[in-house]
Amino acid sequence: MPRVWEKFKAGLETRIEENPKKDLIAKAIANGLEKVEYEQKGESVPLMVKIKDAVFSKLVFSKFKEGQIVQGFYLCVEKKLRHTRAGDLYIDLLLRDQTGKVQAKIWKKVKELDKKFAAGDAVAIKGSVEIFVDEFQLVIEHINKATVQRYARYGFDPALIVPTSSFDPQKMWKEVVGVIRSIKNPLIKKLIFNVYTANKQKLMKFPATVMHQYSYRSGFLEQAVSLVRTGKFLAKHYKLDSDLVIAGLLLFDIGKLDSIDSNYQSNLSKAGNLLGPIALGRNKIMSAAKKIKKFPNELLLQIEHMMLAQHNFNQGQNNVTPMFKEALLVCMLTGLDSQMSIMKKIIEEDPDGQDFTSHYNFFRTPIYKKD
């Protein structure tokens, strides 16, 4: 059998070498193997891998050479009106779904289609794939702003067009609420419960950050779950006030809910730019505490301290440093958790099949992609 396989392989390689499309065939095979690997793992096949597979099927494995038709829902990340050398207007787009990004162009009916959507919108598109300077791009023929009301019956789900937590937000919410209800101090329990229930809609979908840790849909909630799981264990291990630790872990970053403007894309809001998440978070906590009868000033001061110390400690500033054990644990644990999330993201987003990532990353050093 091995000899038969060797002869078959040698014959196949010879035929490929003699084929004028040999370079394209080699790329098609490599892309196909990558697609199969994702499918075998039960993972979503990245957008560019799917597009390349469709194009290679046309260019290599079929007599047809026309562009593959693509239709579906994407996020319009960038939209720019440009002119060709001849002076004709066209639209240059960057589209994405949760698996990746692709360049796109609108050459026809530019003024008409330009009015139908804006950068940051979810869009329903129909177009074809073409190769331009050895790169794949979509040529859009039809495009509309996609809303749940209009397109849900056609399979539109906002969670499918942006990077999203791999965990069910409903289950994460249930777990966080369970932790809050387990708090023994009734005032801390009421404070956190009131803040979280008042912001449930944002908590279910907001990222924890715009660019770094947990920077995807429902990332804030995933971060909260990760922190309280570890925090409860460490508070018990170090014999700390578990209720106070949970308060620090669940409230330290609560200002992000007002500082991030997150629909499909995450950007800083006007308040986020002008005031920042620390001031916004402190205001939110103080406002909620005022609505609770006889909320102790000392307890509020400790919660405020944990929030301010965490941000200063993990951003290398020294004006507020952790001054009691629970504050120190909150600072150390949130820093560790965020860096673990960032390292995971760097590894997952690295495009090369090498053992190490590039050193151009948050840590400024190559990351070893061990199995």
**Residues 230, 236, 240, 241, Cα dihedral to 10°:** 80
Task: Quote the pLDDT of residue 269.
Answer: 77
Highest mean pLDDT among 200-209, 245-254, 354-363: 245-254
Burial of 6 (0-12, 13-18, 19+ CB in 10 A): exposed
> Dihedrals φ, ψ of 271, to 5°?
-65, -35
164: phi then psi, degrees, rounded to nearest 5: -135, 145
Mean pLDDT for 350-357 is 77
74 near 95, Cβ under 8 Å? yes
pLDDT at 272: 81
The pLDDT-based confidence of 3 (bands split at 50, 70, 90) is very low
Per-residue pLDDT averaged across 172-197, rounded?
97
**What is the structure's pLDDT at 227?**
97
Single-letter amino acid code for the residue at 15: R
Would you state the structure tokens that stand for residue 206, as one six-digit string? 């907001």
Phi and psi, residue 233, nearest 5°: -65, -45
| pLDDT score recorded for residue 7 | 44
| Whole-number pLDDT of residue 18 | 63
Rounded to the nearest integer, the mean pLDDT of the chain is 83
Does pLDDT of 172 surpass 90? yes
Residue 35, pLDDT score: 75
- Over residues 136-146, the mean pLDDT reads 89
Residue 238 has pLDDT above 90, yes or no: yes
**157 vs 146: CA distance, rounded Å:** 10
Strand 135-145 with 100-106, pairing = parallel
The pLDDT of residue 252 is: 93
The residue among 153 and 10 whose pLDDT is bigger is 153
Higher pLDDT, 147 or 319: 147
Among candidate residues 343, 337, 362, the one with its CA nearest the CA of residue 224: 337
Q: How many angstroms separate the most distant Cα atoms in the chain?
A: 85
Is residue 351 scored above 70 in pLDDT? no
- Mean predicted confidence (pLDDT) in 2-25: 55
Gap between the terminal Cα atoms of the chain = 32
Residue ranges of domains in the chain = 2-43, 69-160, 169-349
pLDDT score at 336? 94
CATH number of 69-160: 2.40.50.140
- 239 DSSP β-pair partners: none
In this prediction, what percent of the chain has a pLDDT beyond 90? 44
What's residue 314's pLDDT? Answer: 57
pLDDT digits (tens, 9 = 90+) for 210-230: 778 888 889 999 999 999 999
Confidence of residue 65 (pLDDT cuts 50, 70, 90): very low
pLDDT, residue 291, reads: 95
Q: What is the mean pLDDT of the segment spanning 90-116?
A: 88
Helix (H, G, I), strand (E, B) or coil at 208: coil
Is the pLDDT score of 71 beyond 80? yes
For the ranges 59-73, 145-159, 231-245, 355-369, the lowest mean pLDDT is seen at 59-73
pLDDT digits (tens, 9 = 90+) for 277-315: 888 999 999 999 999 999 999 999 999 999 988 876 656
Higher-pLDDT residue of 142 and 32 is: 142
Q: What pLDDT does residue 16 have? A: 57
Count CB-CB contacts under 10 A for residue 130.
Answer: 15
Give the pLDDT band of residue 5 (cuts 50, 70, 90): very low
Q: Which of 102-106, 155-159, 183-187 has the lowest average pLDDT?
A: 155-159
21-30, 161-170, 193-202: least confidently modelled range: 21-30
The pTM of the full predicted model, rounded to 2 decimals, is 0.69
Query: Predicted confidence band at 61 (pLDDT cuts at 50, 70, 90)?
Result: very low
Q: Which of 225, 219, 223, 220 is nearest to 180 (CA)?
A: 225
Question: Which among 262, 349, 344, 264 is positioned nearest to 46, based on CA atoms?
Answer: 349
Least confident piece of the model among 26-30, 237-241, 248-252, 270-274:
26-30
